[in-house]
Amino acid sequence: MATSKPQRTPAEIEDIILRKILLVSLVDSMESDTRIVYLEMTAAEILSEGKELRLSRDLMERVMIDRLSGNYVSAEPPFQYLVNCYRRAHEEGKKIASMKDKNVRSEMEMAVKQAKKLAVSYCRIHLGNPGMFPNWEMVNSSVSPLLPLVFSEVSSSVDAFGGGSSSGVTSPPGFLDELFKDGDFDSMDPILKQLYEDLRGAVLKVSALGNFQQPLRALLYLVKYPVGAKSLVNHPWWIPKSVYLNGRVIEMTSILGPFFHVSALPDNTIFKSDPDVGQQCFSESATRRPADLLSSFTTIKTVMNNLYDGLAEVLMSLLKNTTIRENVLGYLAAVINKNSSRAHLQVDPLSCASSGMFVNLSAVMLRLCEPFLDANLTKRDKIDPQYVFLSTRLELRGLTALHASSEEVSEWINQHNSGKIDVSKEGSDGENRLLASQEATSSGNGSGGPSILHCDNPISSSSEKAKYPFICECFFMTARVLNLGLLKAFSDFKHLVQDISRSEDHLSTMKTMLEQAPSPQLQQEISRLEKELELYSQEKLCYEAQILRDGGLLQRALSYYRLMIVWLVGLVGGFKMPLPSPCPMEFASMPEHFVEDAMELLIFASRIPRALDGVLLDDFMNFIIMFMASPEYIRNPYLRAKMVEVLNCWMPRRSGSTATSTLFEGHQLSLEYLVRNLLKLYVDIEFTGSHTQFYDKFNIRHNIAELLEYLWQVPSHRNAWRQIAKEEEKGVYLNFLNFLINDSIYLLDESLNKILELKELEAEMSNTAEWERRPAQERQERTRLFHSQENIIRIDMKLANEDVSLLAFTSEQITVPFLLPEMVERVASMLNYFLLQLVGPQRKSLSLKDPEKYEFRPKELLKQIVKIYVHLARGDKEKIFPAAIIRDGRSYNEQIFSAAVDVLRRIGEDMRIIQEFIELGAKAKVAASEAMDAEAALGDIPDEFLDPIQYTLMKDPVILPSSRITVDRPVIQRHLLSDSTDPFNRSHLTVDMLIPDTELKEKIEEFIRSHELQKHGEDLNLQSTKTTIQTTDTSKLIE
C-alpha cells in the first residue's frame, strides 16, 4: 500500500511561491534555472537571527532589496527584474485561485498581493532614483524603460502604419495601472516627465504617414491618470519658458506641440516631417491612376481624423480635471497669442507655427465645441460678449472691430466702469449706441448672449480677473484658432492655386518662345518651371487630402459659424428688420474676422461638391440680407461684398442644387429686402476708401449683377424690384442706374480701345521676318503684353455685356428713372455712343479672328442696345427721349440709325423691334430739326443764361451754397449722382442743399418768350411779304 505524500505547511507553500516570484534562494541547492540568485549573505544573517531559511512575507522586502543591490552575473537588471516579479506574481495568483483550502488560499493571495505591491513600489523608487541599484540598462539608454511597456499597453488598437512595441516587451496585466494610480505626485512626477519627453521625441518631425498613433495613444493613456495629468501641465515644457518664445518655439518644444505638428500639409524645409506626404502620395500625379489618388486621399483623411480624435480626447480629459483646467486654457491661449501674426498675408515660418499645427488645432477645437453645437443652439446664452473686452487670456481688443474704433470701445468701457453716463453729451454717438445696446439685448427674445448692461457681472476693470464658463472660453478660442488655422489654410490654398495658374501661363509662354527661337536659357527656365509646378501640384493635393476632402471637418466648422452668426444677431435683437439705430456697441465692437471667417468658409464650402449637404443655411441667408447693405453695422465694404459672393455661390444654376432656391424664393426677409439691399450695396461699393476702389467695384458689381439677373426671373422679386424703383425713383434706384450706366460706358470703351491695341500687337507678331529680327527680351515683353491685353478684354467685355443686359431687361418694365431730367441725356448719349461703335464707320477695325474668345458678341450687344432704345421710347409719356437723343452732339447722327436698321435686318432681329426703332429715329430727326430752329430763334445767348458745366441754356437754375455759382438743376443733379461735392470747390453738397435762382429763371423764361415772339413776328412778316409778292405776280399775269 502506497504511503500518502506528506502535506505541505502554509509556510512551505509560501516559500515555494515567493521563490518562483522573486527568483531567489536562501539555500545553495545548485538550481538549474540560472536566473535564480543564491543570497548567501542574507541567508547567513537570517540564520544568525535564529530564523528558518524560508521566504515569507516578513522577509520579502528585505530579500528584494538584497537582490536588487547585488551585482549578480546572469541576473536580470533591476527594472526588468521588478516588472517580471510582478508578472510572475500575476501568474502565481492565477494558480492560487484553484486552491481548495480557503485559509491557505487567502494567505497565499495576501503574499502575492504584497509581492506585486513591492515590485511596483521599488520600480517607482528605481525609476525615480536610477543610481540606487546597479543599473546598466538605464545608464545605456536615454529613453525611459517604461516607454515600451506603455506602448505595449496601448497597442491593441489597429495602427494604420504598423503598431505594437518594436522591442517585443509587454506589460504585465495591471502593472501600469497600479504604478500610476497609487503613486503620489512627488514620486511619480520625475518618471512621468521623462515619459512625456520621450513621447514628444517620438513624434517630433513625424508626418501623417509616420507612426504617431502609438505615442498619441500612450499620451492619452497617461493623462487619464490624475497624477499623469498634473505632471503634464506642470512639465517645464508644457509652455516652454524662453526669452525668445514664439509660435514656432511652442510648436517644436512644448510637449503637445510636436503632436499638433503631425500633418499632411507642407511646412518650411527646416521643420519638414518624414515621410514626405507629397512625394510619397502625389508625385507625378498627372500620370497616376485616379484610384491610386483616391486611395491616398482616403488614407490621409483617416489618419488625420485619428489624430484629431486622439488630441481632442487628450484635451478633454485634461479639461475635465478642474484643478488643472487653467493650465490647459493657458497653453491654448499661449499658442493662439504667440501666433497672432499668422493672420498676416506674409507669415514668417521661423516665428509662427505651421499651417499643419493650426489646421489640426482647428479640428480639435471644433470637437471640443460639439456639445454646444446642437441644432437649437440651446447653450448660446453661456457666451458672454464681455469676454472680448475684459478677458486677459486672449489678445482680442487689438483686433479690427465690425464698426467701432478702439477709442470708442475704450470710452464705452470706461463709462460703464465709472457707473454713469455723461449727461452733458446728450445724444452723442456713444450714448446712443449704449442705449441701443440695452434695447437690442433686452428685446432679443433669447436669441442672443447676455447684455453687457444687463448681466450678472457688470463690466469690471481690467485688473479684476473675471471668470467665464468653459463654453464661453472655448467659443472665443475656437474663433481665434479657426481664423489663424483653417481659414488661413483656405487663403493659402487659394494663393497656391493662383501661383499654379501663373506658372502654367508662364510655362506656356516660354514653350511658345522656345518654338520660335530655341535657346539654352529658355530651356533651363522651362525645366525650372516644370519642377516648380510639380512641387506646387504635390502641395495642392496635400491640402485637398487633409482639408477639402474632409467633409466632417467642413461640416463642424459650418455648425460652429452658424452658432457665431446666430449669437451675433442676438446682440442686435434677433432676426428682424429694420435694424435698430444706432448700432449697439456690443455688436459694433466684435472682431471683424468673426463675420469674415464665416463668409469665407461659406464661399469655400460652396465650391466643394456636396460640402453643404444637410447644412442649415437659413440663418446664414438671413444674416447676409440683414447686414450686407448696413454700413452702420459693418463698416468694411469688402466684407459686405463678400456676403454677395456667398449668395452668388448659392444661386441654383451655380450651386447645381434646387434646394438653395428656397433660400431666395421662400424666405420673408429675402422677399422683402434682398433686391433692395443688393441695389443699395451696388451704390455703396462705389466708394470703399481703398486706393484700388475703382477696379474692385467691377468684380463686386459683377456678382451683384448676376444675382439681380436671377432674381428678375423670380416673379415675387421682380414685383419687389418694380416697387423699389417706384419708391426710390429719385433715391437709391437712381443712384444704382447712374453707376450702372457709368460702368457700362467705361467697360465697353476700355474693351474696344484694347481690341484696337490687340490688333496692332497681332499685326506685329504676324510679320514673321520683322518679328524675328527683334531682341528676344523685347519679343518676350510684347508677348506678355499680348496675353495681358487678351485677359483684360475678356474680363471687361464680359462685365460690359452683363451691364447692358441688366439695362435691357429692366428697362422693359421700369422706364421712369431713365427718363428723369437729370438722367435722360446721360442715357441717350450712352446709347448713341454704343450704337456708333457697333455700326459706325470704324466697326470694321473691331473685327477679331475669334471674337467669342474675348466675350465680344457685337450682334447680341447691338440687339440689347436697340431694345433699350425701344423700351424707353415706349415709356416716354412726356415725349422727351427723342430730344435727348439728338442733344448728344458727339455720337448722334441720323445715318447711324439707318446703318443700325440695316444691320438689324441682316442679323434677323424681331421686325416689331426694328419698326419701333425706325419710328424712334424718325422722331429724333424731327426733334433735331426743331432744335435747330429753336437755336436759330434764340440767337446769341447771354453767358449768364448758360450752364457753366455744359454751356447749354439753363431751364431750372440753382445756386450752389458754398461756391455761390449758378448751374442748371439737371446738370448738377447728374453730377451729384456720382460725386456728392461742389464741382467748383469740392465742398460737400447734396440735392436738398441747392438754392433755386428764381430771379434768373424768370429772366431766362422772359428771354425765351421774347425771342419766340420775335421769331413769330418775323414769320408773320415773311408770310405777309410772300402773299404780297404772290398777289402782285398774279396781277401782272392777268394783265
Q: What is the largest CA-CA distance in the chain?
A: 192
The answer to whether the bond into 450 is cis (omega within 30° of 0) is no
3-state secondary structure 344-361: CCCCCCCCCCCHHHHHHH
> Please, what is the Cα angle at 963 between 957 and 967, to 5 degrees?
20
Q: What is the pLDDT of residue 659?
A: 72
Residue 1009, judged by CB atoms within 10 A of its CB (0-12, 13-18, 19+), counts as exposed
Across 905-927, average pLDDT: 93
pLDDT tens across 608-621, in order?
A: 988 888 889 999 99
Binned at pLDDT 50, 70 and 90, residue 828 comes out as very high
Is the Cβ–Cβ distance between 553 and 363 less than 8 Å? Answer: yes
Q: Would you say residue 590 has pLDDT above 60?
A: yes
pLDDT tens across 770-806, in order?
A: 888 888 788 878 888 888 888 999 999 999 999 999 9
Of 354-368, 376-390, 929-943, give the range with the top mean pLDDT: 354-368
Is the Cβ–Cβ distance between 589 and 402 less than 8 Å? Answer: yes
Expressed in percent and rounded to 5, the helix, strand and coil fractions of the chain are: 70, 0, 30
Is the Cβ–Cβ distance between 199 and 215 less than 8 Å? Answer: yes
Is the Cβ–Cβ distance between 436 and 583 less than 8 Å? Answer: yes
Q: Parse the chain into domains and list their residue ranges.
A: 10-137, 146-155+171-353, 728-938, 945-1038
Q: Would you say residue 452 has pLDDT above 60?
A: no
Q: What is the pLDDT of residue 426?
A: 36
Bridge partners (DSSP) of residue 591 are 401
Q: What is the pLDDT of residue 431?
A: 46
The answer to whether the bond into 520 is cis (omega within 30° of 0) is no
Global pTM reads: 0.87
Task: Please state which of the ranges 1-10, 328-337, 866-875, 926-935 shows the lowest mean pLDDT.
Answer: 1-10
Residue 33, judged by CB atoms within 10 A of its CB (0-12, 13-18, 19+), counts as exposed
Q: Would you say residue 163 has pLDDT above 50?
A: no
Task: Please state which of the ranges 696-710, 794-808, 848-862, 923-937 shows the lowest mean pLDDT.
Answer: 923-937
Q: What is the pLDDT of residue 1?
A: 47
pLDDT tens across 695-741, in order?
A: 889 999 999 999 999 999 999 999 999 999 999 888 899 999 999 99
Of 32-46, 432-446, 559-573, 788-802, give the range with the top mean pLDDT: 559-573
> Please, what is the Cα angle at 137 between 134 and 142, to 5 degrees?
120
CB atoms < 10 A from the CB of 813, how many?
Answer: 14
Q: What is the pLDDT of residue 397?
A: 81
Q: Would you say residue 122 has pLDDT above 50?
A: yes
b/e burial code for range 641-675 (CB count within 10 A of at least 16 → b): bbbbbbbbbbbbeebeeeebbebbbebebbbebbb
Report which residue type is found at 716. Answer: S
Q: What is the domain class of 945-1038 according to CATH?
A: alpha beta
CB atoms < 10 A from the CB of 556, how many?
Answer: 21
pLDDT tens across 489-545, in order?
A: 999 999 999 999 999 988 988 888 788 778 888 899 999 999 999 999 999 999 999
b/e burial code for range 328-347 (CB count within 10 A of at least 16 → b): bbebbbbbbebbbebbeeeb
Q: Would you say residue 311 has pLDDT above 50?
A: yes
Binned at pLDDT 50, 70 and 90, residue 941 comes out as confident
The answer to whether the bond into 582 is cis (omega within 30° of 0) is yes
3-state secondary structure of 265: coil
Return d(Cα 416, Cα 420) in angstroms, integer.
Answer: 6
Instruction: At 354, list the grid cell.
Output: 505651421
Task: Please state which of the ranges 103-117, 419-433, 650-664 shows the lowest mean pLDDT.
Answer: 419-433
**Total residue length of the chain:** 1039
Is the Cβ–Cβ distance between 486 and 359 less than 8 Å? Answer: yes
Q: What is the pLDDT of residue 446?
A: 39
Taking CA atoms, 754 is separated from 702, 748, 785, in Å, by 20, 10, 11
Share of the chain above pLDDT 90, in %: 58
Higher pLDDT, 782 or 150: 150
Q: Would you say residue 20 has pLDDT above 60?
A: yes
> What's phi and psi for 959, nearest 5 deg?
-100, 135
pLDDT tens across 375-407, in order?
A: 899 999 999 999 998 889 999 888 999 999 988
3-state secondary structure 793-804: HHHHHHHHHHHH
pLDDT mean across residues, the chain: 87
Share of the chain above pLDDT 70, in %: 89
> What's phi and psi for 55, nearest 5 deg?
-80, 140
